[in-house]
Amino acid sequence: MPPAEIRIDSGATAWVLASTALVLLMTPGLAFFYGGMVRAKNILAIAMQNFVTMALVGVTWVLAGFSLAFGRGTPVIGDLSYVGLTGLGSSLPGFTGPHQLIIPPIVYAGFQMMFAIVAAALITGATADRWRFGAFVPFMIAWTLLAYAPAAHWLFSPTGWAAKQGALDFAGGSVVHINAGAAALAMALVLGRRHGWPDQPMRPHNLPMTMLGAGLLWFGWIGFNAGSALRADNVAGYALVNTFTAAACALLAWIGVERIRYGKATSLGAASGVVAGLVAVTPAAGYVTPIGAAVIGITAGAACALAVTFKMWFGLDDALDVVAVHLGGGLIGSLSVGLFATTAINPAGGNGVFYGGGYRLLGWQAAAAGAVAVLSFCVAGLAGGLIGRIVGNRVPARTEDIGLDLAVHGESAYEGGALPAIETFAPGLASDAEGFPDGDSRAGPPSPDGTGVRAAEHSGAVR
């Protein structure tokens, strides 16, 4: 039984339990979102990576991830006092005063587990079509322990250095989205371009599936953001309304940019706009007014729609635009907290520039976001490089040509193909599909005459 001075609120506990289920649904939603945007021969591979991430990161979180994020330790990293989620007691270090938990710590650990899972799963969009499964598995474990857990400690734990300085991240703009976006950038560089990119068209094979995935993400994001209030109160209500408002405004801004640039508003742009708005409002959802959320959504929708073209300028094969939407959108949202946050919405937050708070909050928002980005980029680059030397990161070029579904997993999403079918197309492939490396899954925006798509430039984005 918890001590008498710790009040466990059954209503708050029920809300967080329900929100945990909503956040869990986001990862299968992400599998649909990504799956529709890859070519048909790779849909099972991207879905498999997302589902395996749920298992890998979930177990890692129970064993050590939560302890490193929320255990006793230093302002930089927690310790191993909660290994296996044992010894949680009735509270957690630093959760006192306005931060006092009114839910059991084990419920909070489960809620945070879902955040870690979806953050890791986001990375797979940048590496689609070419990441060797045997390299993907150890990478996810290493990144969760060495990048995600420290970032969560910095901003989500009251004992973290950024939180102590007053930096705010309501539901993971830096911890989840900037973190995943920076890792996606590093791994896109480590893996290199897909075979044939950008000269060959690599178009989405099922846009209705992508829109279904975006809808599931939008639905689950209510738990992601409103659940982060950790109680069913006024802040949770604002977080819910702000989440919807920003996503809706970003959708309209994205398709507006498409209409101006290309003459057509696309379904892929609408789905991508929703996700861009959700990403950007995540760090601000419980700190800003609905008008502030609308401004954030409009800014993110327009900016991310333009940012997806940058990869062509730099020759970066970020297959599903994770960097533009998550790193870019997360940065927009994190900095917006320093502009639009107000204690009128959340007394436990702070006041941004536009509410008389000066530039201190904005400065710490920028510092925290930058620190997370640098940490994640370095960890991902080093871990990816080391794993590549040991087991190889890339599948062979002919495996890419056949598709990872058959070559790696021995299955076909739409034809019921089995592993022997590989030999029909490429004799010997089945034996070396997971071997060492031997050296745009998304459509372009409408062409000016409305007759087709340009494969060299893409108007979509990721969650």
- Cα atoms in the Cβ-side hemisphere of radius 13 Å centred on 274: 21
Q: How far apart are CA 281 and CA 297, in angstroms?
A: 7
Say if residue 462's pLDDT is above 90: no
Q: Cα–Cα distances in Å, from 8 out to 1, 146, 291, 408?
A: 10, 32, 34, 48
- Looking up tokens 């436990």 gives 348
- pLDDT tens by residue, 182-236: 999 999 999 999 988 988 889 999 999 999 999 999 999 999 999 999 999 999 9
- Asked if 338 and 167 touch (Cβ cutoff 8 Å), the reply is no
pLDDT at residue number 6: 66
- pLDDT tens by residue, 62-120: 999 999 999 999 999 999 999 999 999 878 999 988 889 999 999 999 999 999 999 99
**Residues pairing with 78 in the sheet:** 73
- Domains of the chain and any CATH numbers: 10-391 (1.10.3430.10), 397-432 (no CATH)
- pLDDT tens by residue, 304-338: 999 999 988 999 999 999 999 999 999 999 999 99
pLDDT at residue number 7: 84
- Looking up tokens 């371009």 gives 193
Q: Which two three-digit tokens encode residue 94?
A: 């630093």
What rounded mean pLDDT belongs to the chain?
A: 90
Sign of the CA dihedral running 110, 89, 346, 152? negative
pLDDT at residue number 2: 42
Q: Which two three-digit tokens encode residue 138?
A: 């150890």
Q: How far apart are CA 169 and CA 189, in angstroms?
A: 28
DSSP state string for 173-205: IIIIIIHHHHHHHHHHHHH-PPTTTTTS----S
- Cα atoms in the Cβ-side hemisphere of radius 13 Å centred on 122: 37
- pLDDT tens by residue, 229-266: 999 999 999 999 999 999 999 999 999 999 999 999 99
Confidence of residue 271 (pLDDT cuts 50, 70, 90): very high
Please choose, from the candidates 360, 244, 233, 271, the residue with its C-alpha nearest in 3D space to the C-alpha of residue 33: 271
Region 275-288: mean pLDDT is 98
Say if residue 15's pLDDT is above 60: yes
Higher pLDDT, 132 or 462: 132
- Asked if 72 and 89 touch (Cβ cutoff 8 Å), the reply is no
Angle at 410 between CA 407 and CA 412, to 5 degrees: 95
The Cβ of residue 315 has, within 10 Å, a number of other Cβ atoms equal to 9
- pLDDT tens by residue, 332-366: 999 999 999 999 999 999 999 999 999 999 999 99
- Per-residue burial over 219-248, b if 16 or more Cβ lie within 10 Å, else e, is ebbbbbbbbbbbbbeebbebbbebbbbbbb
Say if residue 457's pLDDT is above 70: no
Q: Is 74 exposed, middle or buried (0-12, 13-18, 19+ CB in 10 A)?
A: exposed
Q: How far apart are CA 400 and CA 38, in angstroms?
A: 12
Rounded percentage of the chain residues whose pLDDT exceeds 70: 88
Q: How far apart are CA 139 and CA 209, in angstroms?
A: 28
Strand (E) positions, 210-364?
none
Strand (E) positions, 126-282?
none
Please choose, from the candidates 339, 204, 336, the residue with its C-alpha nearest in 3D space to the C-alpha of residue 272: 204
Q: Cα–Cα distances in Å, from 332 out to 98, 296, 302, 398?
A: 27, 8, 11, 40
- Looking up tokens 């079509």 gives 129
**Residues pairing with 411 in the sheet:** 418
Least-confidence region, from 2-11, 130-139, 192-201: 2-11
**pTM for the structure as a whole:** 0.90
Amino acid identity of residue 294, one-letter, is A
Q: How far apart are CA 245 and CA 278, in angstroms?
A: 9
Rounded percentage of the chain residues whose pLDDT exceeds 90: 83
Angle at 108 between CA 106 and CA 110, to 5 degrees: 70
